Amino acid sequence: MSEEKSNQPKLPPTSALDSPSNHEFENWFEYPVRVQPHHTDYAGIVWHGSYLAWMEEARVECLRSIGIEFADLVALGCDLPVVELSVRYHRSMQLGMVAIVKTRMAEVTGVRIDWDYAIISTDGQQLYVTAKVTLVALDRERGKIMRQLPPTFKDALAKISALNNN
Residue 133 to residues 6, 43, 82, Cα–Cα distance (Å): 19, 28, 7
Angle, CA of 8, 93 and 133, to the nearest 5°: 30
In 3-state terms, what secondary structure has residue 53?
A: helix
User: Which of 162, 47, 161, 46 shows the shortest CA–CA distance to 115?
Assistant: 161
Other beta carbons within 10 Å of 131:
21
Side-by-side strand order, sheet with 127-136: 29-34, 98-109, 112-121, 127-136, 82-89
Other beta carbons within 10 Å of 113:
22
Question: Choosing from 41, 79, 114, 123, which is the catalytic residue?
Answer: 41
Q: Cβ(128)–Cβ(154) under 8 Å?
A: no
114 an active-site residue? no
Catalytically active residues are 41
